[in-house]
Amino acid sequence: MASAMLLPGAATLGVMGGGQLGRMFVHAAQSLGFRTVVLDPDADSPAGLVAHEHVQSDYLDPAGLARLSAVCDAITTEFENVPATALTQLAASRAVAPAGSAVAVCQDRADEKAHFKASGVACAPHAVIRSAAELAFVPDSLLPGILKTARMGYDGKGQIRVRDAAELAAGFAALKGVPCVLEQMLPLQLELSVIVARGADGAIVNFPVQQNLHRDGILAVTEVPAPAVSAELQAEAVASAGRIAASMGYVGVLCVEFFLLQDGRLVVNEMAPRPHNSGHYTMNGCDVSQFELQVRAMAGLPLPQPRLHSPTLMLNLLGDLWFDAAGQERTPVWDQVLALPGTHLHLYGKQSARPGRKMGHLNITAASAEAARDVAQRAARLLG
Ligand code: ADP
Ligand code: MG
């Protein structure tokens, strides 16, 4: 359904999924005066706990979807693995952004790469492997490579590094023979991402380029301005992200991840049809957050070009920090961390900590990148 403008204070926004991204979306929507509804099967979901209403149901449950569309004026999603069919169903009666068709492209690495190519943006050399029989046709040039399940992978899960044809065959079997994409292992210099927001009228704005550091496949640190990415490459990344969004008629916030190769070339990695972990710094470093832009985009409100007002560094807070060296559970020393200048703590309200689980993030704003880095090091020492 076409989206009319929804005014703050007078409409209800819904979100499929109740994780931390949904929670921060709900906070942003509420601060603009919107009523909020979250659909998530989990009774204790981080977003369900703070929304005006929590529809506790499966993503495909007709009764849950009917309730969501009955009470909401517009609906979005906070994670890409919500069944695209559920979004398409909701779209029959309500404005949905991003569209199920765009989310479907992001759900499948093979479709995603085809879309990158169609948008004229270079991605890693790759082959789609849908059956064991197709292993024989994989060109040697893709090895060593990374075998990734086409669907449902995240935070480095569903990926196996393979050196040769034998490891590839074993890896494909270990991934249970599901459709996969084999990517050539690229010599990375660093990783970056760009978040754009596009309105139904085609207007597009972008946050500044983020430089990202991953540990064990999980985002660990984001730094803005990107310290080691030239202005030309930043402009190229922003233009590419914009083309990728526009060429699928995308509405909402989209994050596009890139690799900067050792030879200086920029290659697109993957995209997420929603606000992204690497954009959490916007909550304190920019004059508008990625979550507020998602609210504005789905409500048909104006999308201002965001402005970075402070160099910002984001540290992801994983569940590991809730355990000491002996494995005993503890509360991190937040009082000491918050005594450091420019620290902004965001905890997601998760009931229990587990190693590797995203529990929150710490944004550090400062007058200079050096000062932000210095505070980040002190915070990391206190938490470590
Ligand atoms: P996820 O969905 O788990 O984030 P990614 O495709 O982003 O999956 O891969 C996770 C990480 O693995 C990347 O951030 C990067 O560090 C590394 N990686 C992925 N693909 C390649 C590649 N083709 N060459 C080199 N490193 C890669
Ligand atoms: Mg990734």
Are 200 and 313 part of one and the same domain?
Answer: yes
State ipTM.
0.98
Residue 3 pLDDT > 70, yes or no?
no
Are 212 and 276 part of one and the same domain?
Answer: yes
Are 172 and 210 part of one and the same domain?
Answer: no
- Is 1 within the bounds of a domain? no
Supply the pLDDT for residue 361: 98
- List the residue whose alpha carbon is closest to atom 5 of ligand 1: 156
Supply the pLDDT for residue 252: 98
Supply the pLDDT for residue 4: 79
Distance 227 CA to ligand 1 centre (A): 21
Are 228 and 141 part of one and the same domain?
Answer: no
Q: 254-263 pLDDT, tens per residue?
A: 999 999 999 9
Query: In the predicted model, what is the mean pLDDT of residues 101-112?
Result: 96
Residues having CB within 6 Å of any atom of ligand 1: 124, 146, 148, 153-156, 183, 185-186, 188, 191, 214, 217, 257, 269-270
Are 158 and 212 part of one and the same domain?
Answer: no
314-326 as b/e: b if 16+ CB within 10 A? bbbbbbebbeeee
Are 49 and 67 part of one and the same domain?
Answer: yes
The torsion angles phi and psi of 121, rounded to 5 degrees, stand at: -115, 130
Distance 186 CA to ligand 2 centre (A): 14
When pLDDT is cut at 50, 70 and 90, the band that residue 327 belongs to is very high
Q: 161-171 pLDDT, tens per residue?
A: 999 999 999 99
Structural domain tally of the chain?
3
Supply the pLDDT for residue 217: 86
Distance 37 CA to ligand 1 centre (A): 33
Supply the pLDDT for residue 113: 98
- Is 3 within the bounds of a domain? no
Are 197 and 209 part of one and the same domain?
Answer: yes
- For residue 71, the SS3 value is helix
Are 287 and 346 part of one and the same domain?
Answer: yes
Q: 180-190 pLDDT, tens per residue?
A: 999 999 999 99
Are 18 and 60 part of one and the same domain?
Answer: yes
What gap in Å lies between CA 380 and CA 337, rounded to an integer? 9
Distance 189 CA to ligand 1 centre (A): 13
Q: 136-149 pLDDT, tens per residue?
A: 999 999 999 999 99
The residue ranking higher by pLDDT, 4 or 342, is 342
List the one residue out of 160, 35, 112 whose CA is nearest residue 270: 112
Contact indicator for 22, 45 with CB cutoff of 8 Å: yes
What gap in Å lies between CA 211 and CA 206, rounded to an integer? 15
Query: In the predicted model, what is the mean pLDDT of residues 239-264?
Result: 98
| Domain with 217 in it | 188-383
- Is 113 within the bounds of a domain? no
Binding site listing for ATP? 109, 148, 153-159, 183-186, 191, 214, 269-270
Query: How big is the chain, counted in residues?
Result: 384
